[in-house]
Amino acid sequence: MAHRERMGWGDLFRFGRQDIAALHKTWFAFFLTFVVWFNMAPLATTIIESSGLTAAHLKLLAVCNVALTSPSRFVIGMLTDRFGPRRTFAGIMVAMSLPCFAFAFSDSYTQMLASRLILSMVGTGFVVGMHMTSLWFKPRDIGFAQGVEAGFGNWGASIAAVLMPVIALNVFGSWRYAAAASGLVMLLYGLYYRTAITDGPAFAACRAPSKSSVIEVSTWRDMIGAILWTIPVTGVLGVVVWRLNGMGFMGAGAATWAYAAIAAVVLFQALRIVRFNYPLLKKGVPDDDKYRFADIGALCLCYGASFGAELGVISMLPQFFENNFSLTPQLAGLMGALFAFMSFFSRSFGGYISERSPSKRGAMLVFLAGIAVSFGLMGLIESNWPVWLAIAVTILCALFVTGACGATYAIVPLVKRRMTGHITGYVGAFGGIGAVMYLTAYTFVNDSQFFHIMGAGALFTFVFCVFFLREPAGAFSQEYQITGSGKAMMEGRPLAGKTWGAREKPSGSAGRAPMV
């Protein structure tokens, strides 16, 4: 990777370059996880007809389909720091094929709920893919590269929306075999990915991978902030339990036990943050190694307002077009796929604009404002609109929503390089949190109100970022900004006469192959 010019579209065809080959292998892994994750939405009406379910049943399945994404992304981000993205990604693809098979051949609604709940963890592939890409590309290229990786990967939802109805109705004659086929392809590719890629260039191997599953902070105030921003990661499951109980699918006794378990996990996570960071803060964090946790919080909200909204829209858009414009399931799936289809272009566009604008923060604010306005327009769509106009508004909204995802992750690797996995886990988790909150709200409102709620979420995030998001240091540098203190910690060397013990060692590297 000795090139010095900015990466462009033409570079994607240079398959002989190791970094480009790694990018293509990783986006395809991400793509398959999204095909499996969203293999249900395009088949919604078919499942209703064949299984005797109602629209309310499908809405609850959609909530369960994203319920565990947040806490699992949080955990997977930390596991990626420890074991590397290659092994982690392969493990996700192999393991998540099992609940996919369970859903495909389920014989009760309870089994459907349980399998979709577990399968929601397949959404963690995004976190691992982002981390893998950050190991192969440098700061000035990372926004574009991650936009390509995430954009192609998100096409999985688009392709699922187009192909699943065709495969189910025209090939197998059954939605069950179509869903199972997607899981089988992901399983086989997971086995291949395990041996087909490395965690970054071989020459950049790190000698001290992270052993911590807790994020490191720089100040006492940031420790409180870390606790507050960690609470929703698991706490959002309380919303799912509340809705299951309210719709009669969980008894009061079971709900009480579930609330208690969630509260216990949240308390445990908070105590671990304190236990890990207290001795570090007491000794003092080197000034050149400090960072602002408020930046992570702002990026969490950005991703909730963008990717959370994207998940919410993808989960209902095919049915929205079918019901409002009297389309066939195949054609409605094609129309609904437009939102996800735009993801490749607009995610890359978001990273591209972020890298070429005077300020990455400014680009983020522009995308957030665009989300708020475009969702306001989506909320005005009615059945008497021309289909082409509804499609045009949908494409405009997709441009801003998925572009904001690219702009968000153009900043994430620059907050604190040696903790990229942890930070990616936090930010990625809030994408799932946003989806759970939006889809839960959707069970109470109509389509128009649903779009307006997502627009309001983007507007709130815009105001928050105006006050709390700062421009990252070295945002347009050729190399990542790693201080002397940070580099010493990554390599396990003593710092200012101190040796980091097992409990005191900072929460680590950006993975197995940090670039310095």
CA distance 162 to 437: 26
- Which of 385-389, 395-399, 503-507 has the least mean pLDDT? 503-507
CA distance 122 to 120: 5
Q: Quick one: pLDDT at residue 288?
A: 78
HEC string for 242-255: HHHHHCCCCCHHHH
CATH of the domain at 251: 1.20.1250.20
Q: Quick one: pLDDT at residue 420?
A: 76
Residue 81 clears pLDDT 50, i.e. is over it: yes
Supply angle C-alpha 513, 405, 352, rounded to 5. Answer: 75
In a domain, 369, yes or no: yes
Read off the pLDDT of residues 96-118 as tens digits, 9 standing for 90 and up.
999 999 999 998 888 998 999 99
Read off the pLDDT of residues 213-248 as tens digits, 9 standing for 90 and up.
688 999 999 999 999 999 998 898 999 899 888 878
In a domain, 5, yes or no: no
For the chain, percent of residues with pLDDT exceeding 90 = 38
Residue 2 binned pLDDT confidence (cut-offs 50, 70, 90): very low
Residue 304 binned pLDDT confidence (cut-offs 50, 70, 90): very high
Identity of residue 232: P
The number of folded domains in the chain is 1
* pLDDT greater at residue 6 or residue 109: 109
* Maximum average pLDDT range among 205-219, 220-234, 402-416: 220-234
**Residue owning tokens 């499951």:** 237
User: Any residues with CB less than 8 A from the CB of 495 and at least 6 apart, and which?
Assistant: 286, 485, 488, 489
Segment 450-457 shows an average pLDDT of 96
CA distance 432 to 113: 17
In a domain, 495, yes or no: no
Read off the pLDDT of residues 158-192 as tens digits, 9 standing for 90 and up.
788 778 888 888 888 888 999 999 999 999 999 99
Supply angle C-alpha 318, 319, 321, rounded to 5. Answer: 70
Residue 5 binned pLDDT confidence (cut-offs 50, 70, 90): low
* Maximum average pLDDT range among 288-292, 441-445, 466-470: 466-470
Is residue 401 classed as helix, strand or coil in its secondary structure?
helix
What radius of gyration do the chain's Cα atoms show?
22
In a domain, 513, yes or no: no
In a domain, 55, yes or no: yes
For the chain, percent of residues with pLDDT exceeding 70 = 86
User: Any residues with CB less than 8 A from the CB of 392 and at least 6 apart, and which?
Assistant: none
Contact assessment for residue 371 and residue 309, using Cβ atoms and an 8 Å cutoff: yes
Contact assessment for residue 31 and residue 153, using Cβ atoms and an 8 Å cutoff: yes
Nearest CA among 457, 460, 475 for reference residue 361: 475
Residue 329 binned pLDDT confidence (cut-offs 50, 70, 90): confident
Residue 203 clears pLDDT 70, i.e. is over it: no
Read off the pLDDT of residues 480-513 as tens digits, 9 standing for 90 and up.
455 544 444 444 444 444 444 333 343 333 333 3
- Label residue 403 left, alpha or beta by phi (over 0 means left) and psi (-120 to 50 means alpha): alpha
- Mean pLDDT, the chain, rounded, equals 82
In a domain, 504, yes or no: no
Residue 202 binned pLDDT confidence (cut-offs 50, 70, 90): low
Kindly tell me the sign of the dihedral angle through the C-alpha atoms of 22, 24, 25, 30: positive
Tell me the residue range of the domain where 407 lies. Answer: 18-198+209-490
- Label residue 338 left, alpha or beta by phi (over 0 means left) and psi (-120 to 50 means alpha): alpha
Q: Quick one: pLDDT at residue 1?
A: 39
Supply angle C-alpha 368, 153, 124, rounded to 5. Answer: 85
Cα–Cα distance list, 419 to 24, 345, 396, 463 (Å):
24, 28, 34, 27
CA distance 500 to 167: 56
In a domain, 4, yes or no: no
Q: Quick one: pLDDT at residue 428?
A: 82
Most distant CA pair in the chain: distance in Å? 73
In a domain, 480, yes or no: yes
Read off the pLDDT of residues 35-73 as tens digits, 9 standing for 90 and up.
999 888 777 778 877 777 777 788 788 888 888 888 887
